[in-house]
Every structure is written in structure tokens, then in C-alpha cells.
Structure 1
């Protein structure tokens, strides 16, 4: 049901109410010095087709850039101390991180060198990444077949599965309790004059004056930017997930294993496992935001043979469920775009997370709230992710992308 906003003017209009939009809304509602009126416009209040709903909900610190490590470290702290961040509300549950860790496997000299370089960055930032030779991996996880593997990289502190859905629910609830208005509607146009977005038009016909606009539209980010006359290299790309049972379950938790093929798999429950994959490289292209069709042949012809080779016990498995989600894929460099447009100065980007969005949402929402409130970042400096690099075609290189 389309809802009409209560007011005709808002200080902040957030386009998209999923993980990023709700993180920003909640942090704004608790930010010292912010007294503005906030409207969150979400086209699908069920969130059924959002990237948030289709996420595998994991976090890691194994990145090649310090800022990305720091972003995930804040996420870990936020999740483990959710009740404290929520003002001590006794209704807020205690959350933990299932620390089975990410295990990157290398089968070539170049990737091995990259893992070694990355570890130096991670250790300097306070992560606890370990490098393991083939025999050391087998001592801990004897179920792998590692004849082709040179090196593994793993961190079991604040790295693994977390309950992103609960954090999302509490952000929305907390933001509403603090006065943020959410409506089910759709932004269909923007009026830009004098280098500013003056108003947004909703599908219902309402025209809403705004002080600042936040593009938190996930895979639809480029469509939202286009309304303001802005080009943004973010597009929906399919990513496939399978949940399966093993006839002979492993005798210990399976780390989130990143195979050199690009396939990843992890523990999902006591006797269930998750596997994820992208389409073939030639098919990994932009799709319609409403296209969630599954590629069933991808499992039979590609994914299952790889995981059964890597873990022979997975020769006899049965798929329980499967789904397609969308990365908000930044075609420039697969990293975030955050901050103001240099010419349309009140249009704010919060886009292009390329599969890292859920784990980056606490730090990114806080950063956006700081920028909106104070005109600057006051905790983590997110300027490396500014839109200006898009204009210049300068990539922010992150070597640990999944």
C-alpha cells in the first residue's frame, strides 16, 4: 500500500530503507547535534527482493586496505555490543559472531604473494590473520583435498556469520522510535536547480522539498542517481546461493572457504552448509532489478564438482534450498561510493558495495550520519570512497574481493 508522507518538507530524504538506508536513519536519529526531520522512502516495505534479504550475512577483516579492515572491525564491535549501542534497551538481544573465520586458499604464486601482503596490512590494523601451509591447514581441517594448494589465510577473531536481520530490525525500530518517518512509496523524479536537489516526486504524486537526499537504493542506485542527472557505475548483478545437506557431515565447523575457483562455502547450521557463486564471467553482466531467476545448471555443471573435489565428503550432498540475490556492483572498482556529489552538492551517495554492504553498513551509516550532521567524517575517514574518483576513473584497489 502506497503511503503519503506526513509533511511536505524534510531535512533528509533517504531513498531506500534497507540495510544502508536504515543504518543511516538510525545513526542520524542518535547523532548529537542533529535535530532535523528524516523521511525514508522504501518502494518495497516487505524488503523481499532487497539485497539485505538475500545476503549471506557474514563479515571479515581480511581486506588489503586498512580502511576496509577498520570498517569491518567497527561492525564486529557494533554487533557484539548491540544492546549498548541501542541505549541499553533490555528488549535488544545479545548477539555474537560465529567465528569460523574466512579461509582463503591459494594455488598460485601471485595469489600467495597477495595473501602475504594482505596479512601485513591486517596485522597492522589489529586483525589476527594467520598464514597456514598445506599441512597446517590439514591439521586443523583434515577434510580438505589440498594437493594444488600453496597457502591458506584465516582469521577466527570477529570473522564469520552474524545475525544481520536482527540488526536491521532494530535499526528500523529504533529509528522510528526516535522520530524517523518510514513510508512505502517510490521516488520517481527529482527537481535539480542551482546545483541542489530541491524536491523529490513520489509515485503517489506527492512532491517533497528536501535539504539533502541520500541515495541508498542498493542495486537500483544508478536509476536514483539518473533522476538527479548523475551517472553512477553501479548495476545489479546476480549472485547464487545454495544450502545443502551432506550425507556425511564434517566433524567440525567449515570455515567460509574461498576456493581459488571463486566458489565459496561455509557452515550454515549443525548439519547444513552454504555455497555461493557468480555466473560465468561472460554472463556476469547487469540484469534487470526484478530478475531473480536461478541458473540451475550452474550448480550441477560447476559449483558441485568444485566443492566435491575440494571436500570429498561433499560428493554425496542434497540441495535444500537456493536463491538468487543481487550485488550492487560498482563496475569501476567493486568498492563503495560514499559522500556528496561535487556539483549537485546535497545529493549523497551510499552505493556500490559489491557484496560487502551488510558488513560495512554500521560504519557506513555512521559515516553518512556524521557527514549529514557535521559536514565531515568524525570517526573513520571515508574520503577514499568519494565520487570524485568515479569522475577521474581512478580505481580504489581492493585485492580481497569475493
Structure 2
């Protein structure tokens, strides 16, 4: 067994690459290897994400994660020490707009927005009339309130973020290994290595599970169950010639879909009614969802969606945490040297800068130094204690 590694990261997409880079930033010279099965990332959640970021979460720790993340995106080049032009992520701050339709929505939105503003966000709670004034193309008769983030929210270049982390990590000495992890080497309750499909066995001082939809499989090698499974999301790119609104925010509609403008058209998706686990290799789009579910909701929101053409569609996977749809981070109780960063349920890309920093602090310093992420620890999973958001998208 080769034993010259300090840390092995399983999974080299955006979370794994962020963890690796932060490790070398906090501890220059640390010997870090990242195991990635497909360096093209063709089926990675990172590559198939709609690449958005928001401050509008109901748990303060998630707000703080995104507050750090958006500033990190702005300062990406300088943070990573990249050459000019290597790190422009094209952050487009059109904002997020949550549309509420229940009697409780105005009060709940006002309470959450106050907390978000205390943490530096700019969230505004709007009446239906104010929504109509700001976006006159929308039908608002069914609304009771809207929650809008006029800055620090929007979308960005997903592969630019991944590419930047990988470039900077490599420059700092991180080794990226194209192979498939197939097992852990355990000495009692301590993780001390990783077995690869190639037959190699790599020894190390710590293992970080950033395997996304396959993270439960990795943790099972240590004899522990993890409530994370692949969930399929079909994303549609549509052209609506009577509804061209490039200035629009990313809209989360209480009817059950989201949409945002994209190069003269729109990106949109919904959660299928029969949502459940899928095979990790199932990337067949549920094409029927647009006509049967999404299109009627779009038309109800705006008559401009009377004529729509689907231009393309794709499937991405969530590493879906069935307990509470929040990330599972930190040490694995009862297993020394084994760490988790998974279960993001669709939020992993925007959370990767802060999560990478937090995981590196935990490994290098033995505890969180910048932002306490302990509420997202594995302990809540062991105890069956959900850490819920009040609105999951």
C-alpha cells in the first residue's frame, strides 16, 4: 500500500476540488490526492447544474454559506491566484424571486427576510401589487407575497468554478487521479486508505467522501448507512417568443416550478410528482414533464407563454438527503479519519466555496474556524434529527 498521502478526496467535481484546494491553502505542502472516475465530468452534478446562488434560505448557516460564496465568486481570480481572465465567472445578479400564494406567506417571508438582512442580504418582501409593478408581464391574482433578492443572487459559470479550483489545486501540488474508488482500507475504526478499481491501494491519514450521488455507497464501505440517493431532475431550455424578459430574476413559483432567463429564452424545471430514487446511471430525460406539468403553470403565470418550443433538455442528478435535504458535513461519528461533504440536494455548487473551506479547517485545525458548520454534521443523521429548511427548491 502506498502511504505517502495526507488526505484522499473521493470525488473530483466542484466540492472535492474545493476541499482539495482549501486544504493546500491552509496547509501548504499537504499531500492531497483526488480520485475522480471521469475527468470530463459529463455526468457530474456540477456540469449539469443550472449554476445559481441565493441568500434566501431560512436557516442562518445556509445564508452565511451563500454570503461567503457570492463574495468568493466575485473575488475568484484573486482568491485562487489565477492569471487575469482565468477566473471571470460571469456572475449575473438578476436576483431570486420567490412567489408565495398561501395566507401565511407574507408573515413567513417577512420573518425570514429580516434574518437574512441581519446577515448582510438585501431581501425585500413585496406585495402582489409590487410584484406586478416590477414585472408587469406576470399574472399576480393568485399571489399573497413575493420575496426578492435584488443583489448577491443570480447565476454564474459552473464549469469555470470547477476549472478554477482544479487549476489552483494542481498548482498547489494536488494530484488528480483518474480511477474509481471501490473500497476503504480500515484499521479498526480508522480509515487509512482507499482501494481503486485499477488495483492500487492508496494509504492516507484522512479520507473525504465527496462522491455525490454515490456517497452512500462509499460510506457503506465503513459499515454506516447514509440517507443520500440520486434524484433525477429534467431541465428544459425553451424559447417563448412572446415572453422575452432577459432582465427577469430566477423565479421560484409556489405552483411548483422554477425558471430563469437564458440567452433570449428560459431554463425551467419542476419536481416530478412521483419523485424518488433513480439509478446513478439513469440520465434519460422525462420529456413529458414540460407539456404535462410545466407549460400550464408558465401560462398561468404569464400569457406570454402561449407559444413555446423546447429547444433542448438534459438530466442532472441531486445527491438527495432524504432526512432533510440539507448538506451532511464533517466527521463520521465512530470512524476516525473519515469525513463527509455530500447530500447537498441541489445546492452543492453554490455552497462549495464555504464547504471546502470548512472541511479543510476541520481536517487541518481540528475544528471550524471561520463559519461553524456543525449544525450540518452527521450527528443529526445518527440521531434522526432533521435540520429543515422552511422552503426547499
Shorter-chain TM-score category? over 0.9
Match for residue 15 of structure 2 among 1, 13, 20:
20
- Partner residue in 1 for 2:340: 349
- How far 1:93 moved relative to its partner? 3.5
- How far 1:99 moved relative to its partner? 1.2
Q: Does 1:223 align with 2:217?
A: yes
- Partner residue in 1 for 2:379: 388
1:22 touches 1:172 (CA, 8 Å); kept in 2?
A: yes
- Partner residue in 1 for 2:6: 11
Q: Which one is further off, 132-141 or 85-94?
A: 85-94
Match for residue 266 of structure 1 among 260, 268, 278:
260
Distance 2:302 2:235 in 1: 18
Distance 1:88 1:46 in 2: 21
- How far 1:91 moved relative to its partner? 4.6
Distance 1:272 1:298 in 2: 18
Q: Does 1:335 align with 2:326?
A: yes
Runs of 4+ aligned structure 1 residues displaced above 4 Å come to: none
Aligned length: 393
Distance 2:323 2:12 in 1: 25
Q: 1:93 to 1:351 in 2, by over 3 A?
A: closer
- Describe the SS at the equivalent of 1:232: coil
1:1-400, aligned counterparts within 5 Å? Answer: 8-31=3-26, 33-87=27-81, 89-269=83-263, 271-280=264-273, 283-400=274-391
1:97 touches 1:158 (CA, 8 Å); kept in 2?
A: no
Q: TM-score, normalised by structure 1?
A: 0.95
- How far 1:363 moved relative to its partner? 0.2
1:42-80 residue CA offsets vs partner (Å, 9 max, x unmatched): 111111011111100000000111111110011111110
1:254-308 residue CA offsets vs partner (Å, 9 max, x unmatched): 2111111220001112x1111011211xx21111100011111111111111111
1:78 touches 1:85 (CA, 8 Å); kept in 2?
A: yes
Distance 1:215 1:34 in 2: 21
Distance 1:213 1:111 in 2: 43
Q: 1:392 to 1:137 in 2, by over 3 A?
A: same
Distance 1:388 1:97 in 2: 35
Q: Which one is further off, 86-95 or 7-16?
A: 86-95
- How far 1:34 moved relative to its partner? 4.6
2:327 touches 2:341 (CA, 8 Å); kept in 1?
A: yes
- How far 1:136 moved relative to its partner? 0.7
2:94 touches 2:247 (CA, 8 Å); kept in 1?
A: yes
Distance 2:256 2:28 in 1: 44
- How far 1:315 moved relative to its partner? 1.3
Distance 1:394 1:262 in 2: 27
1:201-226 residue CA offsets vs partner (Å, 9 max, x unmatched): 10001111111000000111101111
2:106 touches 2:125 (CA, 8 Å); kept in 1?
A: no
1:152-178 residue CA offsets vs partner (Å, 9 max, x unmatched): 000121101111211110110111111
**Can you give the 5+ residue segments of structure 2 that lack an aligned partner in the other structure?**
none
